[in-house]
């Protein structure tokens, strides 16, 4: 039974296996076909998605490029605008600068032209006279480049035109030279011009101040000369040496008489308690008198009366 059953069952099993094989032959191809379709569809979908993605990427790139182009254009426009503004500012500045140059030329050039075409007298500083003696009138004279004779003539002209005519009044002649301005003439400089025989050692003993003056008298103007002394000892000893020629050296502006009408020597005399040295004319009148009023001042004149007047004024 069991064997029979086995026999009976075997054909069925084989049949079943055959049927199963056939089934799979039919089903498997179907499944494969469906799978292919599914895979094809999936691949198609994937391709479409990829295509879409690629298209989107391309569109994005185009948009980005367009955005970049717009940005570049905007930057270019902005740069052009900035350049245009900068150029306008430069033009305005250049025009303004040229205007200033033209205006400056209009103002400055006439002045420069006037300076070169108009000769103005040189400006000189005005010197305030400093004299050893106060006078009623001070007359400043310029002796620049003048000779002794020209200076004497100038002094005589100034005295003639002086408004001061009162007897006993004092007129001061203040000599100056123009050297970049007014410069007071020193005693050494004055005597080198007016008394060329003055000993050099005596000149070196003088200070800077010199006063040439005239006292108004009935008979005319009595001249006198005051010199500042820097070394009394040297001035005194050399003044004694100068006595031999002083009357001739001062002729024309202090002394008025020639040598052949003078005594040979000076003599001592005390006048108003001042030790004086006096040179007389042959007739006994005073030709020249000098005295050291103090260690800093030497006084020379040709009138005893004028000597007395000046001693009174200086005391």
Q: By percentage, how much of the chain surpasses pLDDT 70? A: 65
Task: Quote the CA–CA distance of 225 and 235 in Å, as a whole number.
Answer: 15
Residues in the chain, overall count: 315
Task: Quote the CA–CA distance of 315 and 296 in Å, as a whole number.
Answer: 14
Q: Residue with structure tokens 């200033």?
A: 100
Residue 122 above 60 pLDDT?
no
Q: What is the pLDDT of residues 11-52, one digit of tens each?
A: 455 555 555 555 445 444 445 555 555 555 555 555 555 556
In the chain, where the domains are located: 1-120, 137-314
DSSP secondary structure of 71-95: HHHHHHHHHHHHHHHHHHHHHHHHH
Instruction: Find the distance separating the first CA and the last CA of the chain, reported in whole Å.
Output: 194
Contacts by 150-154, CB closer than 8 A, 24 or more apart: 151/175, 151/193, 151/194, 151/253, 152/252, 152/253
Q: Are 228 and 296 in contact (CB under 8 A)?
A: yes
Task: Quote the CA–CA distance of 235 and 205 in Å, as a whole number.
Answer: 5
Residue 209 above 50 pLDDT?
yes
Residue 78 above 70 pLDDT?
no
Mean pLDDT over each residue of the chain, to the nearest integer: 79
Give residues with Cβ within 8 angstroms of 124, minimum separation 6.
178, 180, 181, 182
Looking only at the bridges linking them, the beta strands covering 137-142 and 170-178 are parallel
Q: Are 239 and 247 in contact (CB under 8 A)?
A: no
Q: What is the pLDDT of residues 266-280, one digit of tens each?
A: 999 999 999 999 999
Task: Quote the CA–CA distance of 195 and 173 in Å, as a whole number.
Answer: 17
Q: Are 249 and 236 in contact (CB under 8 A)?
A: no
Radius of gyration of the chain (CA): 65
Q: How many other CB atoms sit within 10 Å of the CB of residue 62? A: 10
Q: What is the pLDDT of residues 226-266, one digit of tens each?
A: 999 999 999 999 999 999 999 999 999 899 876 667 887 99
Task: Quote the CA–CA distance of 289 and 222 in Å, as a whole number.
Answer: 12
> How much is the pLDDT for 34?
56
Lowest model confidence (mean pLDDT) among 66-70, 89-93, 230-234, 292-296: 66-70
Task: Quote the CA–CA distance of 31 and 146 in Å, as a whole number.
Answer: 148
> How much is the pLDDT for 131?
85
Token pair, residue 96, equals: 């303004």
Token pair, residue 104, equals: 């400056």
Q: Which of 37-41, 117-121, 209-213, 259-263 has the highest mean pLDDT?
A: 209-213
> 3-state class of 226 per DSSP?
strand
Half-sphere exposure of 257 (CA within 13 A, CB side): 17
């Amino acid at each position: 039974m069991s064997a029979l059953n086995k026999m009976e069952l075997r054909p069925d099993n084989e049949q079943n296996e055959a049927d199963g094989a056939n089934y799979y032959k039919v089903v498997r191809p179907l499944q494969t076909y469906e799978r292919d379709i599914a895979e094809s569809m999936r691949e198609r979908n994937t391709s479409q998605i990829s295509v879409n993605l690629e298209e989107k990427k391309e569109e994005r790139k185009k948009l980005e490029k367009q955005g970049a182009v717009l940005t570049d254009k905007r930057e270019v426009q902005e740069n052009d605008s900035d350049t245009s503004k900068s150029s306008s500012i430069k033009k305005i500045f250049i025009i303004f600068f040229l205007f200033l140059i033209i205006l400056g030329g209009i103002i400055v050039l006439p002045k420069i032209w006037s300076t070169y075409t108009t000769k103005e007298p040189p400006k000189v500083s005005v010197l305030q006279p400093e004299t050893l003696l106060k006078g009623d009138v001070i007359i400043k004279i310029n002796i620049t480049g003048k000779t002794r004779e020209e200076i004497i003539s100038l002094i005589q002209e100034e005295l003639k035109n002086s408004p001061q005519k009162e007897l006993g009044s004092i007129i001061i002649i203040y000599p100056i030279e123009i050297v970049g301005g007014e410069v007071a003439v020193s005693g050494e400089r004055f005597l080198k011009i007016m008394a060329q025989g003055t000993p050099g050692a005596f000149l070196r003993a003088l200070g800077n101040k010199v006063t040439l003056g005239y006292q108004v008298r009935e008979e005319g103007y009595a001249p006198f000369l005051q010199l500042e002394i820097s070394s009394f000892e040297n001035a005194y000893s050399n003044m004694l040496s100068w006595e031999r020629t002083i009357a001739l050296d001062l002729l024309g502006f202090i002394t008025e008489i020639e040598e052949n009408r003078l005594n040979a020597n000076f003599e001592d005399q005390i006048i108003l308690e001042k030790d004086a040295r006096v040179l007389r004319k042959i007739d006994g009148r005073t030709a020249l008198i000098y005295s050291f009023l103090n260690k800093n001042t030497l006084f020379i004149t040709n009138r005893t009366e004028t000597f007395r007047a000046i001693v009174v004024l200086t005391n």
